[in-house]
Amino acid sequence: MPRSSTIDTGQLARLLDISPRHVQRLTIEGILTRAVDEDGSPLRGRYTLLSIRDYCRYIRSQNRPDNESQSTWDALKNKRLAVETELASLRLKEQKGQLHQARHIEFIWTNMLTYFKQRMISIPSKVARRCVGKSFREIYDLISTEIELGLRELSAYSRTMFEEKRDEYLKAQGADVEGVNGETETTTTSRDSDDS
C-alpha cells in the first residue's frame, strides 16, 4: 500500500480527537489495525483511513448495552412496576375501608385496652359494698357479671366504631379529621391516647 494513502499516529489521533498514546493502546487491544505494505507486513505508526471506521464501531459497541445489562434493566423496571401496582392496591383497600394503617389500629386498641383496664380496676369498688352480707355464690356471680360486661365491651370492635373513636379523639386534639381520611399524615401515638 503506498504511503500517501496512509496516515501516521499523530494525524489519526487528531482526526479521532484522542491522544497518540490512546491510539497506540487501541492498536495493542486490536481495535485499530495498522496499514500493511505490499508483502503484508504491518507498517509501524501508519494507519489507513478505515481505522476511523473501526474506531466508530468501537465507540458504538461501548455505548450499546449488552444483553446482561438490558436484562438487569428490564428486571428493575418490572420490579418497580410491581411495587407501584401493590401500592395502588393497598391505597384502594384503604379507601374501601378494608385496610387500616398500623398507627390507627394502635390508637384504637390502646384506647380500648386503657378503657378495659380502668373498668377492671373499678370492679372492686363497684362490687365491694354490694358483697357485704352476701353468700360466696352471690359474691362470685356479682364479680363474674362485672368481668363479663368488661370483656363484652372489649370484644365489641366494629369498623365504624374505630373510625368514630379516631375522629372523636382527633377533633378533641384540634386535628383536621378530613385530612385523616385522605392522604395526609397525622401524628397520633399511643402515648397521646394514654392521657385520655
Residues 15-73 pLDDT 10s: 889 999 999 999 998 888 888 888 888 888 899 888 889 888 888 887 766 666 778 88
Decide if 77 is inside a domain: no
3-state secondary structure of 167: helix
Look-up of cell digits 373499678: 122
Full residue range of the structural domain in which residue 31 is found: 3-63
The domain that holds 49 is classified in CATH as: 1.10.1660
List pLDDT tens digits, range 169-187: 778 777 666 644 444 344 4
**Same domain membership, residue 38 and residue 99:** no
Q: What is the mean pLDDT of the chain?
A: 80
95 confidence band (pLDDT: 50, 70, 90): confident
* 167 phi, psi to nearest 5 deg: -65, -40
Q: Is the pTM of this model over 0.75?
A: no
Decide if 156 is inside a domain: yes
How much of the chain, in percent, has pLDDT values that exceed 90? Answer: 17
Q: How many domains does the chain have?
A: 2
Q: What is the pLDDT of residue 87?
A: 93
**Same domain membership, residue 100 and residue 33:** no
List pLDDT tens digits, range 129-147: 888 899 999 999 999 998 9
Q: What CA–CA distance (Å, rounded) separates 76 from 68? A: 12
Decide if 75 is inside a domain: no
| 7 bridge partner residues | 47
3-state helix, strand, coil in the chain (%, to 5): 70, 5, 25
